[in-house]
Structure 1
């Protein structure tokens, strides 16, 4: 028996959705087709790909995790071959990842730009925290990711799109909101803190306080940017954030710049180092750059022209490391 792309697609769909039923719905095939494909692959390898428990989600075995990474590499190579053979990279498929807290800010713009320019280009995305996206890049489940660089390892290549400063989010009716000028971290540390509780993010957002010898009381922890904004808007505390959202998300919360000079957060396009780049993924990367530029320009108002000009200059000579 020979392994076909169809078997690989059925296997990866089952691994990503966690069930043969969900995989069948995703691929618009029958559920038995997915089950048969998995049994065929397990018979070929003489090893199990999934652990199965009644009523539980299908979980990859250690062997299955390794084979899933290989399957993604083969499917990506096949997609690249088909696109190059037809001469139309804009008709391919690209798998991307987006850091969960920045997805609402940049992903809709990215998808809108890509759909307008390349209507036949299919973009599939996953949201995750920084560790999950790093794992997805390493396992080739995604070709590139829009994320923050918080100590990414050397085997992940980064192209910096912007360097973002932390800012304070405070209740609109608080004394801090009524203070003139920039807010000090010393004043912020006196209030209950609502912390984004995601791997790497939590340490990065606490670092400015630690650098000033401060230890604020973390009153609440949340993984959703929208939840943090809502909690601050209801007067439950203050927060220190990187991702800048739409003020309409929480009318009772005010963003204020920080007085102290703190470490900046690079917003990057991340890719596995030494991985081949498909033409379709390059088109999506350009859409990512333009989506970030558009979001920052809207944020900066008239100052966005300068930011866009600087970003265009970076693009002519991307910073890769």
Structure 2
């Protein structure tokens, strides 16, 4: 039984794109080449990996889902062996795909990509901005080699390396009576309007913190956009609880928010670099991980104290 690395690459890309055409575009080959390679792979192994749906793309079969993880591990091992043969001192090249939690992206990605362009100009980085569920799905489905996300209910099989820990803070309107305080107990905001950052898993964390005030938060407004939440707060529509801290207090529409520490004992939020436990990081993945860690150190040094 002859199985080639080309067949494995074509299979994993088709699984990531759920499309033969999409895989062909990503691989810069003819769609017929991808289809033929995967068909031959299925014949060699004796099982069907995809259900072909006319005009609807591909669906992985249970056998295809199992084989995908093994194929990814094989390709990662081959890449790692080639990295060792070339030596770690040279600039890495090729393509690496990273999923990134949407609220982290504007804070970290520009610096990370700039650093990588300077240190590894031949490295191509593709970024998928999504929520935590999207990050996990991208890793499992082979759409991403690593994910920069929060440690929020990561499932079994996903390994996460902590790169940063953030304590939540209060975002208040600038004219709020508590805006000039160093710290405030959540009970002081018990009866005030709450603006919720409404993302999967994130909303549960924010609400659990708000409930430490002793009551159920009065959610008047909610948004999946971090900046929209800040703008609502600046307009006096309520307070919010956030983790990431911009370099300034301005909002998109020219308003300002006040940031105040929470006096209560509140859970911190960990930022992690996640990958499949079954995959060993390649030199390309390690280069991206190093750039992320360096950027977090730089951002932390430049962040406002309050």
TM-score w.r.t. length of structure 1: 0.79
Within a 5 Å distance, the mapping from 1:105-124 to structure 2 comes to 105-124=107-126
1:102 alignment counterpart: 104
- Deviation of 1:216 after TM superposition, in Å, equals 0.7
Task: Name the CA distance, whole Å, in 1 between partners of 2:99 and 2:124.
Answer: 14
Within a 5 Å distance, the mapping from 1:5-84 to structure 2 comes to 5-84=5-84
Which residue, 250, 264, 276 being the options, matches 2:268? 264
- SS of the residue 2:262 aligns to: coil
List alignment gaps of at least 5 residues for structure 1.
304-321
- SS of the residue 2:304 aligns to: helix
8 Å contact 2:185–2:213 — kept in the other structure?
A: no
Number of residue pairs matched by the alignment? 301
Task: Name the CA distance, whole Å, in 2 between partners of 1:140 and 1:52.
Answer: 19
The structure-2 alpha-carbon separation of the partners of 1:123 and 1:75, relative to structure 1 and needing over 3 Å to count, comes to: farther
Task: Name the CA distance, whole Å, in 1 between partners of 2:177 and 2:30.
Answer: 59
8 Å contact 2:189–2:213 — kept in the other structure?
A: no
8 Å contact 2:105–2:129 — kept in the other structure?
A: yes
2:255 alignment counterpart: 252
- SS of the residue 1:203 aligns to: helix
Within a 5 Å distance, the mapping from 1:1-321 to structure 2 comes to 2-87=2-87, 88=90, 90-91=92-93, 93-134=95-136, 136-137=138-139, 142-150=144-152, 152=154, 156-172=158-174, 175=176, 178=179, 180-233=181-234, 235-245=236-246, 247=248, 248-250=250-252, 251-261=254-264, 262-273=266-277, 275-300=279-304
- Deviation of 1:116 after TM superposition, in Å, equals 0.6
- Deviation of 1:254 after TM superposition, in Å, equals 1.0
- Deviation of 1:44 after TM superposition, in Å, equals 2.7
- SS of the residue 1:58 aligns to: strand
- Deviation of 1:192 after TM superposition, in Å, equals 3.3
8 Å contact 2:16–2:142 — kept in the other structure?
A: no
Q: State the superposition RMSD in angstroms.
A: 3.1
- Give the structure with the higher percent helix: 1
- SS of the residue 2:125 aligns to: strand
List alignment gaps of at least 5 residues for structure 2.
none
- Deviation of 1:277 after TM superposition, in Å, equals 3.9
The structure-2 alpha-carbon separation of the partners of 1:224 and 1:246, relative to structure 1 and needing over 3 Å to count, comes to: farther
Summarize deviations over 1:50-73 as a string: whole Å, max 9, x none.
Answer: 233333242222222222222211
Task: Name the CA distance, whole Å, in 2 between partners of 1:191 and 1:59.
Answer: 48
- Deviation of 1:215 after TM superposition, in Å, equals 1.0
The structure-2 alpha-carbon separation of the partners of 1:135 and 1:299, relative to structure 1 and needing over 3 Å to count, comes to: same
8 Å contact 2:173–2:234 — kept in the other structure?
A: yes
Task: Name the CA distance, whole Å, in 2 between partners of 1:239 and 1:69.
Answer: 40
